[in-house]
Amino acid sequence: MATETDAARDRVLAARAALGAELETLEASARVAVDVPAKIRRSPAKAAAVAGGAAFVVLGGPKRVFRAGKRAVLGQPAPLPDSMLPDEIERTLRALGEDGDKVRGALERDFAAYARQASRDRAGLRTLLLLGVARPLLSAGSRAAAKWLFRTDDESFEGRLAHVRERMKRQTGEDRGASSGAPAEETPGS
């Protein structure tokens, strides 16, 4: 019976040690992943590129580049005419006499409302098409930026892991010293 108990105790102690090692690895990995200032110091060009790309997207850079490209390919849009009504309607309005100004105003207001609504409808379709193309690109870009930001490199990870293991040894030593009745030492920085 004692051998089974000892074996079970040994398995529990081994599992506890493995858990401790995994926790140390997890802590070191998490600390390296969120150590953004160290990443910026190691590769400032990459950090500047990520920040610049984010600023470009946030400030509407893709829309501006698209408009500039459209102007470069298609040229400047033609200016709007003074009167947007066809000649036939203009003649009909002139034939109405004094009430023509009132009719002209009503027609121009109605036509302007129609033009605004049609513009909104076209903008909605254009936005839908752009989102269909831009959303996957932005998603992939933001995923790549997040992956770069939270990645761990071996050198930093090993350093953090050694630091965590050293701290754990000090704490374990303090716990054993406190449980045996010996005074625990004060360690700076823990």
Lowest-confidence region among 33-37, 67-71, 80-84: 80-84
Q: How far is CA 173 from CA 9, 10, 24, 117, in A?
A: 21, 21, 16, 75
Structure letter (DSSP) for residue 82 = S
Over the stretch 119-134, which tens digit does the pLDDT of each residue have? 887 777 777 777 787 7
Which two structure tokens, joined as six digits, stand for 70? 């459209």
pLDDT in tens, 141-180: 888 888 877 777 777 778 888 888 888 888 877 776 666 5
Q: What is the pLDDT of residue 108?
A: 79
Q: Which residue's entry shows tokens 């003074």?
A: 82
In the predicted model, is pLDDT for residue 48 greater than 50?
yes
Residue 186 has pLDDT above 70, yes or no: no
Q: What is the mean pLDDT of residues 106-115?
A: 81
| Strand (E) or helix (H) holding 43 | none
pTM: 0.33
How far is the CA of 104 from the CAs of 97, 115, 155, in angstroms?
11, 16, 77
Mean pLDDT of the chain: 78
Give the chain's largest Cα–Cα span: 117
Instruction: Measure the CA–CA gap between 84 and 89, rounded to whole angstroms.
Output: 10
Distance CA 174, CA 166 (A): 12
Q: Is the Cα torsion angle 64, 66, 68, 74 positive or negative in sign?
A: negative
Q: What is the sign, positive or negative, of the torsion defined by CA atoms of 5, 8, 14, 20?
A: negative
